[in-house]
Chains A and B, each alone.
Chain A
Amino acid sequence: MANNGSNNVLVSVKNLKKFFPIKQGFIFNRQVTQVKAVNDISFEIKQGETLGLVGESGCGKSTTGRAVLQLHKPTSGHVFYEDQDLTTLSEGELRALRPKIQMIFQDSIASLNPRHSVRKIIGEPLVIHNIGTAKTIHNRVVELMELVGLNPKWMKRFPHEFSGGQRQRINIARALALNPRFVVCDEPISALDVSIQAQVVNLLKDLQQQLGLTYLFIAHDLSMVQYLSDRVAVMYLGKAMELADKQTLFKEPLHPYTQSLMSAVPLPQPKLERKRKRIILQGEVPSPSKAPNGCVFHTRCPLAIDRCAKVIPEYRQVHPDHFVACHLVDDQQSSIIKVIGR
């Protein structure tokens, strides 16, 4: 999407970690272990771009999005928005910044308050932040509804009177109420019917162009991510495996996991599909509370060597703007080791 030729970094995430304690027992409630939902992740998002974040269920995508916005307090690491380190801000300072950084939540279609009118739902952030009078809020709600393609006449209706796609528009309008610059979109389309998904995707794109928004776009539908993103990061068990611009990532993935993931995802082209060779990974994603030592992917990696079980591969830049964490990717040549065809 429009990068506008600018390379200004808007959001910079450094060694972000978010661990959740797992407690057991009724009386003593002692901490038994912890889920390393996000375990040392770094990436940058440039002004005006869309960074896609993909990976299988439970790999930590939503937690990453929330920790970036400080909706989860990170266990450690830093998140810079422009030049402010969000992890060091006080509650009050964060609150003041909140309008600029917003999130569209994964399960938000279901969580729209059924007893609140659309006007109340969309205007709520303005009320919470004490912005404007009843009249200006009303006008802003009209403006927002028009922006996302809802008829302002429907303002007094309740969520159940809208279709899934329309409810997602209500959500998007609410997230935009405070004029954000950076929006984390957590699976904004996965609950929608295919014929409706395109409506919302087009809307997100139009809004980005009109308002110069920067997106972190979380999804597990790789074709939508490819369609919508400029660059894409791939996660597995709380770790970033690879990050590159989308052309490179989809055409020449370096990491064996990225290659396997790409190969597992079917394409909507029957003739191509019949010819394709697939990498079928063995087993399932291990539980995040029992992440393997060394490379977290080694238990399923078709190419794993001894070192993979012992040493955590460094997440490093192998080409300009192409990061990968795998022992087998050669630093000098950073050659693609093809998993298929072995």
Chain B
Amino acid sequence: MILQVKNLITRFYSVDGVVYAINGVNFALDAGETLAVVGESGSGKSVTMMSLLGLIPQPPGKIEGGQAFLFENGEQQDLLKMSDQQIRRVRGGKVGFIFQDPISSLNPTMTIGKQIAESMTEHLGLNRLEARKRTVELLNEVGIADADRRFDSYPHEFSGGMRQRVMIAIAVACQPKIVIADEPTTALDVTVQAQIIELVQRLQEQLGIAIVWITHDLAVVASMADRVLVMYGGTVVEDALVNDLFDNPQHPYTIGLLKAIPGVTKMGAEERLESIEGAPPDLLRELTFCPFAPRCQFVSDQCLTELPPLITITKQHRAACFYDAEKRKIKEKEVEHGQ
């Protein structure tokens, strides 16, 4: 284990009131694994990761609870207790990150090469010449042709896919243990997405990095994740190995999600997709019961009064739901027959 997040709570004090964005998130990350984080818009995927990296604007944001231990050489450090300067050293050092929109995270007035080289001089203490040499190697490695000349290009001279390659180069430049990628391919075309996924997987193998990959695309999850966190309403509702999640989903939201997309079980128009009726929760209210309860077909009184904790089902599979799996199977049959 290289990262363990315990009971993270993040809120925003906005003009509309308190946004209860993250309501007790728990997860762990093993060295070298790929952890996918899925969930609908607003479920707290980005805010969780930004909280760990000290990227929450404060105010309006405030991290109100929790711990996030980074383990290294038998030592542990709590990311949430670090000073600004300490967390900046972690960011881009031991933990690299890639954002959805590379244009806003690259400095438009600085050459691509300089941006990469600078982080190397800062984090690895290389001199300018060494940093340039390694940058060119790295640009080559991430598939930028003619890297020596491209060193002096500005971000706007690159296409979307190339910029994302540059972001990846920056993320891995300082030999990180973890790379957090927030929807890194959402803005890209599918054929370019395939290139980027292949690149990240190759780098991961070579460098032994653990990857946290935020996405809303379950097919991307299926193609690259070892393990999956499903988020809903600012909580983790399920945590499972990828095969278990698709074969044996436990949380009603995950079950619904898998039935709502074609290609898992339903291929033809003859079979109807099952939609999850209703809308995601309003985060302006404090979470005192299951966030999925208003949309859940298995809802009981307990679901409406208590927040279900993550319950261990098997060693590697946890879900936050009061409903018993056996009962659920029976109920599902009834529902099917009822229709």
Which B35-64 residues sit within 8 Å CB-CB of chain A? 40-41
Instruction: Give the contacting residue for A266; candidates B40, B41, B222; CB below 8 A.
Output: B222
CA A8 – CA B223 in complex, angstroms? 41
Interface contact A281-B195, CB-CB below 8 Å: yes
Interface contact B267-A227, CB-CB below 8 Å: yes
Interface contact A267-B263, CB-CB below 8 Å: yes
Residues on B with C-beta less than 8 A from A268 are: 218-219, 221-222, 246, 258, 261, 263-264
Q: Is A202 an interface residue (CB 8 A)?
A: yes
Interface segment, one of A29-37, A100-108, A193-201, A330-338: A193-201
Interface contact A284-B161, CB-CB below 8 Å: yes
For the complex formed, measure the closest distance between the CB of A340 and the CB atoms of chain B, giving whole angstroms: 13
Binary interface encoding of chain A residues 63-85 relative to chain B, with 1 for a CB under 8 A from any of its CBs, else 0: 00000000000000000000000
Binary interface encoding of chain A residues 204-220 relative to chain B, with 1 for a CB under 8 A from any of its CBs, else 0: 01000000000000001
Residues on A with C-beta less than 8 A from B242 are: 270
Q: Is A264 an interface residue (CB 8 A)?
A: yes
For the complex formed, measure the closest distance between the CB of B190 and the CB atoms of chain A, giving whole angstroms: 5
Q: Is A226 an interface residue (CB 8 A)?
A: yes
For the complex formed, measure the closest distance between the CB of A335 and the CB atoms of chain B, giving whole angstroms: 24
Residues on A with C-beta less than 8 A from B256 are: 195
Interface contact A194-B218, CB-CB below 8 Å: yes
Instruction: Give the contacting residue for B269; candidates A228, A270, A273; CB below 8 A.
Output: A228
Which A1-48 residues sit within 8 Å CB-CB of chain B? 1
Interface segment, one of B176-184, B272-280, B322-330: B272-280
Which B67-115 residues sit within 8 Å CB-CB of chain A? none
Residues on A with C-beta less than 8 A from B261 are: 194, 197-198, 223, 268
User: Chain A contact residues: over half helix, strand or loop, or mixed?
Assistant: helix
CA A334 – CA B266 in complex, angstroms? 30
Residues on B with C-beta less than 8 A from A201 are: 273
For the complex formed, measure the closest distance between the CB of A225 and the CB atoms of chain B, giving whole angstroms: 9
Interface contact B262-A223, CB-CB below 8 Å: yes
Which A141-191 residues sit within 8 Å CB-CB of chain B? 163-166
CA A263 – CA B221 in complex, angstroms? 16
Interface residues on A, range: 35 or more
Given contacts A1-B269, A260-B191, A280-B194, contact A193 B280 (CB under 8 A): yes
Interface contact B219-A193, CB-CB below 8 Å: no
Residues on B with C-beta less than 8 A from A266 are: 194, 197, 217, 219-220, 222-224
Binary interface encoding of chain A residues 265-278 relative to chain B, with 1 for a CB under 8 A from any of its CBs, else 0: 11111111100001
Interface contact B191-A273, CB-CB below 8 Å: no
Interface contact B279-A165, CB-CB below 8 Å: yes
Residues on A with C-beta less than 8 A from B190 are: 56, 220, 222, 261, 264-265
Interface contact B191-A195, CB-CB below 8 Å: no
Q: Is B257 an interface residue (CB 8 A)?
A: yes
Instruction: Give the contacting residue for A193; candidates B161, B216, B272; CB below 8 A.
Output: B216
Q: Is A57 an interface residue (CB 8 A)?
A: yes
Q: Is B193 an interface residue (CB 8 A)?
A: yes
Residues on A with C-beta less than 8 A from B316 are: none
Interface contact B246-A270, CB-CB below 8 Å: yes
CA A226 – CA B272 in complex, angstroms? 13
Q: Is B205 an interface residue (CB 8 A)?
A: no
CA A202 – CA B262 in complex, angstroms? 12
CA A144 – CA B222 in complex, angstroms? 39
Q: Is B332 an interface residue (CB 8 A)?
A: no
Residues on A with C-beta less than 8 A from B224 are: 266, 273
- Which of B160, B222, B262 has the most chain A CB atoms inside 10 A of its CB? B262
Residues on A with C-beta less than 8 A from B189 are: 56-57, 220, 284-285
Which B249-297 residues sit within 8 Å CB-CB of chain A? 253, 256-264, 266-269, 272-277, 279-280
CA A249 – CA B217 in complex, angstroms? 23
Residues on A with C-beta less than 8 A from B197 are: 266
Q: Is A224 an interface residue (CB 8 A)?
A: yes
Instruction: Give the contacting residue for B266; candidates A164, A165, A227, A263; CB below 8 A.
Output: A227
Q: Is B248 an interface residue (CB 8 A)?
A: no
Interface contact A280-B275, CB-CB below 8 Å: no
Interface contact A264-B279, CB-CB below 8 Å: no
Chain A residue at smallest Cβ distance from B277? A199
CA A224 – CA B16 in complex, angstroms? 36
Interface contact A198-B198, CB-CB below 8 Å: no
Q: Is B339 an interface residue (CB 8 A)?
A: no
For the complex formed, measure the closest distance between the CB of A330 and the CB atoms of chain B, giving whole angstroms: 25
Interface contact A198-B269, CB-CB below 8 Å: no
For the complex formed, measure the closest distance between the CB of B87 and the CB atoms of chain A, giving whole angstroms: 31
Residues on B with C-beta less than 8 A from A57 are: 189
Residues on A with C-beta less than 8 A from B279 are: 163, 165-166, 196
Given contacts A198-B276, A201-B273, A227-B267, contact A269 B216 (CB under 8 A): no
Binary interface encoding of chain B residues 152-169 relative to chain A, with 1 for a CB under 8 A from any of its CBs, else 0: 000000011110000000
Binary interface encoding of chain B residues 201-221 relative to chain A, with 1 for a CB under 8 A from any of its CBs, else 0: 000000000000000111111
Which A292-311 residues sit within 8 Å CB-CB of chain B? 300
22 A-B pairs (CB sep. < 8 Å):
A163-B279, A193-B41, A195-B40, A195-B280, A196-B275, A197-B261, A222-B190, A223-B219, A226-B263, A227-B263, A260-B191, A261-B190, A264-B190, A266-B220, A269-B263, A270-B223, A270-B242, A273-B219, A273-B222, A280-B194, A280-B195, A284-B191
Known: A193-B216, A266-B224, A269-B264. 15 other contacts (CB 8 A): A57-B189, A166-B279, A193-B40, A194-B216, A195-B253, A198-B273, A201-B273, A202-B273, A220-B189, A265-B190, A266-B197, A268-B246, A272-B222, A280-B198, A300-B191
